[in-house]
C-alpha cells in the first residue's frame, strides 16, 4: 500500500493522515475487507505519533470508510472506495461553502431542495 | 551475445551430465546385487540394529535390487519436475542428486558386501563403518556441490532494476506491504501445542522419564516457524525495513546509501530451497509463498522478500536510493 503525506499541507496532522489513507482507499491501494497495517506500523512509516494516527483512523471510521473489529484490527469497509471519493468531495464542498460564508446547515438546506 | 550462447551450451552440458548421472547411478543400484546374485543368500539382510550391528531385517534379493532404484527414480523425477517448473535457477537440484546418488550407491555397496558369501541373511556382517563412511561421503559431496553451484551464479547478470518512481518534492511517500503463510502458522501452533503438552506431562509427573528431548526441539521449531510465518515490509525515505513475525521483531534495515538497486521478480520455494528464511545461490530470500518478490541489491549482496505489489515497492526504493546518494 502506497501512502502519500503532503508535507506542505497546513492542516492538523491527524487530518493529513486521514487524507492519506482516504486517498489510498479511493485509488484502490487497499480493497474492501483488507486489513490496514497496525497503527504502530503506520506511525513509524509516516513519522507521526501513534495517537495522531489513531485519531485519523477514528475519523475515517466515523466517515464509514473503516471498520474497527476486536481481534481483527482495522479493516476497509465495504464500498469504501466509492464512498471515499464522495466524502472527499463533500469535504471540499463544506470548505468552499465556509469560505463563501455559508454554514453546514445552509448546505444541508440546499441539498434538501435539490431535485 | 557470445556469453549467452556459451551460457546455453553450458546449461546443455549440465543437463546431459545430469541425465548421465541419473542413469549411471540407477544402473549401479540394480547391477550391484544382480551381478553378485550367485554369491548372495536368497533373502539379503537390509537392516541392522544400531547398537550391536547385527542384521534385524531382510528383503528378497529382487526387492533389495529394486527398492533403492525406485527411491532414486522418484527423487530424480521430483528434481526434474521442480527444475522444469522453476527454470534453470534451481541450484539445489544438482546438489541433492549428487549427494543422494553417492549415499544410495554407498549403501547398496555396503549391503551387498555384508551379505556376500553368506548362506543365511542372519549371518551377514556389520555395516556400521560403511554406513558412517557413506554418510560422510554423501554429506561432503553435497557441501562441495552446494559451494560450486553458489559460486556459479554470475554477479550482475540480473535485471538492473525497476525505473525509479517520480517523487514530488513536497510529499512524503511510503510503501507498506506484508505477507503471511497460514501453513507455517499451523505448523507453529501444532509443534507449540506438542511441546506444551509434553511439558505439562513432565511437570505433572505423569510420565516416568522427563520428555526434554521432545519439548526442546518442538518448542524451538515452534518459535522459529512463528517468527518466519509473516513478514512486514516498509519503504520510507529512511530506506527499507523488513520485520518478521507478529511482533515485528527481529527486523532488518537498509539505509538509502546502502541500496544499489531494487526490482521485482517471480520466485518459487523450489528455486530457493523451501519456505522461510532461505540462503541459496540467489542470495537471501524470505519466502512465504510462490510469486512476486521484492529483490534488492545492497552492499553487493542480494536480498529478496515475497510480498505483493513488489514492483511499486522497488520503484519507490530506487527513487529513495537515488535521493539518498
- CATH value at residue A54: 1.10.10.10
Concatenated DSSP letters of A4-46: EEESS--S-HHHHHHHHHHHHHHTTSS-TTPBPPPHHHHHHHH
Query: What's the pLDDT band for B34 if we cut at 50, 70, 90?
Result: confident
> Does any domain span residue A6?
no
> Does any domain span residue A7?
no
* A5 closest CB neighbour out of B172, B176, B312: B172
> Does any domain span residue A35?
yes
Contacts of B248 in chain A (CB under 8 A): 40-41
User: According to the model, what pLDDT value does residue B86 have?
Assistant: 56
Contact A4 B172 (CB under 8 A): yes
Contact A41 B232 (CB under 8 A): yes
Contact B171 A7 (CB under 8 A): yes
Contact B173 A47 (CB under 8 A): no
- pLDDT value at B89 more than 50: no
Q: What is the pLDDT of residues B118-146, one digit of tens each?
A: 888 888 888 888 888 888 998 898 888 87
Please, what's the largest Cα pairwise distance for chain B?
89
Q: What is the residue range of A60's domain?
A: 13-87
Contacts of B311 in chain A (CB under 8 A): none
Contact A42 B176 (CB under 8 A): yes
Cβ atoms of residues B181 and B229 within 8 Å: yes
Counted domains in chain A:
1
Q: What is the pLDDT of residues B150-189, one digit of tens each?
A: 654 444 445 567 788 887 778 888 998 888 888 888 999 9
Interface predicted TM-score (ipTM): 0.73
Cβ atoms of residues B323 and B237 within 8 Å: yes
Q: Is B174 in the A-facing interface, judged by CB distances under 8 Å?
A: yes
> Does any domain span residue A45?
yes
CATH number of B160-180+230-325, picked from 2.30.29, 2.40.50, 1.10.10, 2.40.10 = 2.30.29
Q: Which CB contacts under 8 angstroms, 24+ apart, belong to A80-84?
A: A80/A25, A80/A32, A81/A25, A81/A26, A81/A28, A81/A31, A81/A32, A84/A22, A84/A23, A84/A25, A84/A26
User: What residue ranges do the domains of chain B occupy?
Assistant: 2-152, 160-180+230-325, 182-228
Residue A63 grid coordinates:
466517515
Contacts of B174 in chain A (CB under 8 A): 2-3, 5, 45-46
Residue B102 grid coordinates:
553417492
CA dihedral defined by A61, A65, A69, A73, rounded to 10 degrees? -100
Chain position carrying cell 527398492:
B67
Strand partners, B276: B287
- Rounded Cα gap, residues A53 and A43, in angstroms: 6
Q: Is B176 in the A-facing interface, judged by CB distances under 8 Å?
A: yes
> Does any domain span residue A103?
no
Query: What's the pLDDT band for B3 if we cut at 50, 70, 90?
Result: very low
Amino acid at each position: 500500500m502506497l501512502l502519500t503525506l503532503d508535507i506542505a499541507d497546513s492542516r492538523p496532522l491527524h487530518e493529513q493522515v486521514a487524507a492519506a489513507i482516504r486517498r489510498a482507499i479511493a485509488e484502490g491501494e487497499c480493497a474492501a475487507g483488507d486489513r490496514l497495517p497496525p497503527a504502530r506500523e503506520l506511525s513509524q512509516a509516516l513519522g507521526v505519533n501513534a495517537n495522531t494516527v489513531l485519531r485519523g483512523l477514528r475519523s475515517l471510521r466515523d466517515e464509514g470508510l473503516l471498520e474497527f473489529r476486536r481481534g481483527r484490527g482495522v479493516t476497509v469497509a465495504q464500498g469504501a472506495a466509492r464512498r471515499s471519493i464522495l466524502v472527499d468531495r463533500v469535504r471540499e464542498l463544506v470548505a468552499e461553502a465556509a469560505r463563501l460564508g455559508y454554514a453546514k446547515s445552509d448546505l444541508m438546506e440546499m441539498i434538501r431542495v435539490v431535485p | 551475445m557470445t556469453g549467452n550462447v556459451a551460457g546455453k551450451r553450458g546449461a546443455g552440458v549440465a543437463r546431459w551430465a545430469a541425465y548421465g548421472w541419473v542413469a549411471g547411478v540407477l544402473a549401479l543400484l540394480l547391477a550391484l546385487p544382480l551381478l553378485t546374485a550367485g554369491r548372495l543368500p536368497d533373502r539379503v539382510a537390509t537392516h541392522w540394529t544400531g547398537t550391536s550391528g547385527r542384521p534385524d531385517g531382510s528383503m528378497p534379493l529382487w526387492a533389495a535390487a529394486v527398492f533403492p532404484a525406485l527411491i532414486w527414480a522418484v527423487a530424480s523425477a521430483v528434481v526434474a519436475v521442480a527444475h522444469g517448473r522453476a527454470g534453470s535457477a534451481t541450484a539445489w537440484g544438482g546438489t541433492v542428486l549428487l549427494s543422494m546418488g553417492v549415499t544410495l550407491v554407498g549403501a547398496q555397496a555396503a549391503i551387498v558386501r555384508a551379505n556376500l558369501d553368506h548362506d543365511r541373511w542372519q549371518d551377514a556382517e556389520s555395516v556400521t563403518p560403511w554406513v558412517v563412511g557413506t554418510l560422510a561421503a554423501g554429506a561432503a559431496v553435497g557441501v562441495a556441490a552446494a559451494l560450486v553451484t553458489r559460486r556459479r551464479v554470475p554477479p550482475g547478470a540480473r535485471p538492473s532494476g525497476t525505473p525509479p518512481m517520480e517523487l514530488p518534492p513536497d510529499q512524503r511517500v511510503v510503501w507498506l506491504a506484508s505477507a503471511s503463510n497460514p501453513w507455517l502458522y499451523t505448523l507453529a501452533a501444532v509443534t507449540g501445542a506438542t511441546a506444551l503438552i509434553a511439558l505439562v506431562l513432565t511437570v505433572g509427573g505423569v510420565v516416568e522419564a522427563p520428555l526434554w528431548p521432545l519439548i526442546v526441539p518442538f518448542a524451538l521449531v515452534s518459535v522459529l516457524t512463528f517468527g518466519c510465518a509473516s513478514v512486514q515490509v516498509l519503504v520510507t525515505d529512511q530506506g527499507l525495513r523488513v520485520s518478521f513475525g507478529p511482533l515485528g521483531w527481529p527486523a532488518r534495515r537498509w539505509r538509502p546509501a546502502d541500496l544499489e538497486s531494487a526490482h521485482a521478480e517471480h520466485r518459487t520455494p523450489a528455486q530457493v530451497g523451501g519456505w522461510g528464511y532461505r540462503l541459496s545461490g540467489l542470495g537471501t530470500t524470505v519466502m512465504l509463498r510462490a510469486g512476486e518478490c521484492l529483490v534488492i541489491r545492497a552492499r553487493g549482496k542480494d536480498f529478496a522478500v515475497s510480498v505483493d505489489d513488489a514492483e511499486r515497492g522497488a520503484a519507490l526504493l530506487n527513487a529513495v536510493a537515488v535521493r539518498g546518494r
